[in-house]
């Protein structure tokens, strides 16, 4: 009997040892995690980084300016220009319906009148009413959607005029939309304000591109349009200012969270309880943010190639890939890293958009010059034309002359990959853009290249 019970006791003893061993391992792991948590919580922050060059400086235009007046008008008319799916037809050709366009314009005459007032004040200084107060993580900027829809309305009106054979008016509206977009972008706003301005500018460019093939402009009219377009090139300092404003917003968020103010913000936005605030290192977070964004800001006006933008884009992508969960959890600034992921704009994409717009603008200028030559000499030139100083139009990406595929009628830039793909441009399928390697335009009068 005793011999039969002995193996059972040995088996039970083995289970006890395994259970006790497992408990001890778990206890050791929990102790190690607790110790690691304490160490990380008390890990010293680094010295404050030198960020003076990344602090934006607002000019003192004052609230008595056309853009602030528009903001005040929209605040007094809260139901004007709000969300309406019909505005989609401004950027999605598949949504276009002439009758719906008529209805939308007739319902928003006051908003269109506000657009006309902005156009009339293009020579004045514009500034957002909040100035530096707009660099705030708690602001939602309710006026931006009506302003965007105001621009959508102008775009719809431009297409409407073009399709009604009033092409000159369609072109005028398109150019005015680009002018308003550029002024919005330079009005010293946050990144979202810059994006609204850029969207207006791009909408105007699209409407111009659609209207020009239907126009019968003579050489004098083309020269006037060229003069108008020459001042509508995207400028680096406007995006630089917006990126600096975003950095200021981020630093203000860090200051408030570290001091205990608005701690619930983090819990709402990132599902992180305020108890984890010890794992937020303010200075280290600022330094990490600057490491990613500052190279773009400092080199934006040097050109894509000279500013080494391609490498900065690559480095941002590498950082994104390396930011895995394990490294986030064992980092003394885990909360700061999470905040950076939430707050950091996709800087590389914005920089590409800036250079894309510059290249597109340059191609349009060249296309207008080609048309003037075609009307004067009865045919297109064999090569792109130099300006009065003998300088060929330059590609902002590779800093070489723009390309022209005379066979296909495409004027183009090599794009961010710096490879000449023969003028293979992106194309639209409704609201979807099919990305292609090069950036440019198809010459609008390609089917009538020789003028008899």
Please report the pLDDT score of residue 451 as a whole number.
42
Backbone angles phi, psi at 223, to 5 degrees: -65, -40
Query: What percent helix, strand, coil does the chain show, rounded to 5?
Result: 65, 5, 30
Q: At what angle do helices 263-270 and 334-343 cross, to 10 degrees?
A: 70
Q: Is the pLDDT of residue 380 over 50?
A: yes
Confidence of residue 449 (pLDDT cuts 50, 70, 90): very low
Encoding tokens for residue 224?
Answer: 């006037």
Q: Is the pLDDT of residue 36 over 80?
A: no
Question: 158: closest CA among 147, 168, 144, 146?
Answer: 168
Residues 6+ away with beta carbon under 8 Å from 442: 408, 409, 410, 425
The 10s digit of each residue's pLDDT in 341-367 is 777 767 878 888 999 999 999 999 999
Q: Is the pLDDT of residue 431 over 70?
A: no
- Number of CB atoms found within 10 A of residue 368's CB: 20
Please report the pLDDT score of residue 46 as a whole number.
86
Please report the pLDDT score of residue 5 as a whole number.
58
Question: 222: closest CA among 436, 58, 451?
Answer: 451
DSSP-assigned states of every residue in 152-203? HHHHHHHHHHHHTT-HHHHHHHHHHHHHHHHHHHTS---HHHHHHHHHHHHH
Least confident range of 155-164, 197-206, 300-309: 300-309
The rounded distance, in Å, linking the Cα atoms of 63 and 128 is 8
- Number of CB atoms found within 10 A of residue 361's CB: 19
Highest mean pLDDT: which of 88-97, 131-140, 191-200, 411-420? 191-200
Please report the pLDDT score of residue 341 as a whole number.
75
Backbone angles phi, psi at 413, to 5 degrees: -105, 155
Please report the pLDDT score of residue 197 as a whole number.
97
The rounded distance, in Å, linking the Cα atoms of 312 and 303 is 13
pTM, two decimals, is: 0.85
pLDDT mean over 408-415: 91
The rounded distance, in Å, linking the Cα atoms of 124 and 104 is 29
Which pairing describes strands 410-413 and 439-442: parallel, antiparallel, or unpaired?
A: antiparallel
Residue with tokens 């979807």: 432
Please report the pLDDT score of residue 381 as a whole number.
86
The 10s digit of each residue's pLDDT in 228-255 is 999 999 999 999 999 999 999 999 888 8
- Number of CB atoms found within 10 A of residue 45's CB: 17
The rounded distance, in Å, linking the Cα atoms of 95 and 432 is 12
> Are 375 and 393 spatial neighbours (Cβ–Cβ below 8 Å)?
no
Encoding tokens for residue 71?
Answer: 């903001």
Please report the pLDDT score of residue 242 as a whole number.
95
The 10s digit of each residue's pLDDT in 45-103 is 889 999 999 999 998 888 889 999 999 999 999 999 888 899 999 888 888 999 999 99
């Amino acid at each position: 009997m005793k011999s039969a019970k002995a193996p059972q006791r040995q088996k039970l003893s083995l289970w006890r040892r395994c259970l006790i061993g497992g408990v001890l391992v778990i206890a050791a792991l929990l102790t190690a995690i607790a110790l690691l948590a304490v160490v990380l919580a008390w890990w010293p922050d680094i010295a404050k980084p030198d960020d003076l060059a990344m602090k934006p400086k607002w000019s003192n235009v004052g609230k008595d300016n056309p853009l602030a007046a528009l903001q005040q008008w929209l605040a007094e008319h809260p139901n004007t220009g709000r969300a309406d799916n019909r505005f989609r037809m401004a950027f999605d050709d598949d949504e276009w319906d002439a009758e719906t366009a008529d209805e939308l314009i007739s319902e928003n005459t006051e908003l269109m009148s506000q657009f006309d007032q902005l156009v009339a004040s293009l020579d004045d200084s514009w500034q957002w009413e909040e100035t530096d107060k707009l660099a705030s993580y708690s602001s939602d900027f309710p006026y931006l959607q009506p302003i965007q829809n105001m621009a959508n309305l102008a775009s719809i009106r431009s297409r409407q005029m073009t399709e009604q054979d009033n092409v000159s008016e369609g072109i005028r509206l398109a150019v005015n939309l680009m002018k308003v977009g550029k002024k919005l972008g330079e009005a010293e706003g946050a990144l979202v304000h810059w994006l609204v301005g850029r969207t207006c500018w791009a909408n105007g460019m699209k409407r111009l591109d659609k209207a020009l093939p239907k126009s019968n402009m003579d050489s004098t009219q083309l020269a006037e349009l060229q003069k108008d377009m020459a001042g509508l090139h995207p400028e680096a300092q406007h995006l630089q200012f917006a990126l600096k404003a975003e950095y200021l917003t981020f630093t203000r968020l860090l200051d408030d969270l570290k001091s205990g103010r608005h701690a619930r913000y983090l819990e709402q936005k990132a599902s992180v309880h305020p108890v984890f605030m010890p794992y937020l290192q303010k200075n280290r977070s600022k330094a990490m943010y600057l490491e990613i964004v500052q190279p773009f800001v400092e080199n934006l006006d040097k050109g894509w190639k000279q500013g080494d933008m391609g490498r900065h884009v690559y480095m941002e992508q590498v950082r994104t890939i390396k930011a895995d969960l394990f490294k986030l959890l064992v980092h003394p600034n885990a909360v700061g890293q999470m905040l950076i992921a939430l707050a950091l704009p996709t800087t590389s994409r914005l920089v590409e958009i800036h250079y894309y717009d510059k290249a597109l603008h340059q191609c349009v200028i060249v296309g207008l010059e080609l048309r003037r030559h075609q009307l004067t000499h009865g045919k297109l030139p064999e090569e792109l034309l130099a300006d009065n100083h003998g300088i060929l139009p330059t590609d902002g990406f590779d800093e070489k002359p723009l390309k022209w595929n005379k066979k296909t009628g495409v004027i183009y830039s090599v794009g961010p990959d710096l490879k000449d793909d023969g003028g293979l441009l992106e194309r639209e399928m409704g609201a979807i853009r099919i990305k292609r390697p090069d950036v440019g335009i198809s010459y609008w009068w390609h089917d009538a290249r020789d003028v008899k």
